[in-house]
Amino acid sequence: MPHLQPAHVLEEFASFLQNDVRAEIDDEFVDGQVGSMSSTMRYLSRQLRQKHEVTVRQRDSLLEGLAAIEQDCDNPAVVESVTAAQERIERTPAEESTELEPVLVSTCNDVLETIDAELEGDDARTAREPLYDFLRVRVEGQLEMLGRDAP
């Protein structure tokens, strides 16, 4: 069975309810309930699409940050941690935002822990800096999902 895209499936069900099912209902209350279900499905579809878009932005931001650390840091343990993080992210399908988001957070945390264990002072601050963009993108995406503007 091919992978179903939940957002697409919900949109299709919403259209079916709105266009086909409601046309066959002659009870006003039931018609309203079916219309409400259709609206809810469309809302959920938009939420899933938005969550996917936000997660892809987070992925791109983290990969950029990891590449910057890899380029600028010469500590072997940090570089090894960054390489492992990049590989883990690349192995996780980008279209599976429910699987990808926890991978992004945990790999970022792993790299931050390695930086904190291996580097001190300005070296640690400089190495952590590219990951702050990922964290900013993550917070902004969460605010966007809540319908709020970023600070």
Domain ranges of the chain: 6-146
Tokens standing for residue 23: 């046309």
Yes or no: say if 143 and 150 are a contact pair by the CB < 8 Å rule. yes
pLDDT beyond 90 at 33: yes
Residues 128/112, Cβ–Cβ less than 8 Å: yes
36-to-9, 11, 16, 19, 39 alpha-carbon distances in Å: 17, 14, 13, 13, 5
**Could you give the percent of the chain with pLDDT greater than 70?**
95
Instruction: Determine the Cα–Cα distance for residues 23 and 55; give it in Å rounded to an integer.
Output: 38
Give the per-residue pLDDT at 147: 79
pLDDT at 1 over 70: no
Closest CA to 82 of 91, 92, 73: 73
Q: How many helices (H) and strands (E) does the chain have?
A: 5, 0
